[in-house]
Amino acid sequence: MLRQIKNTAARSSDTLLGDAIGAAALMVMLIVGLYLPGLS
């Protein structure tokens, strides 16, 4: 199973960084959206 994960990561290494940035951006938007009602 670890070998499959390594192979998948090696094949998709060019999109892996973009996916991680996208996931981090979604988390930031979620946190900001949850805090917005408390600001007013």
Please give the pLDDT value at position 29: 97
pLDDT in tens, 1-40: 999 988 888 888 778 889 999 999 999 999 999 999 888 7
Please give the pLDDT value at position 14: 79
Please give the pLDDT value at position 38: 85
pTM metric for this prediction: 0.63
Please give the pLDDT value at position 40: 73
Please give the pLDDT value at position 28: 98
Is the CB of residue 13 less than 8 Å from the CB of residue 6? no
CA distances in angstroms from 8 to 1, 14, 24, 29, 31, listed in the order given: 11, 11, 21, 28, 30
Q: Where are the domains of the chain?
A: 2-39
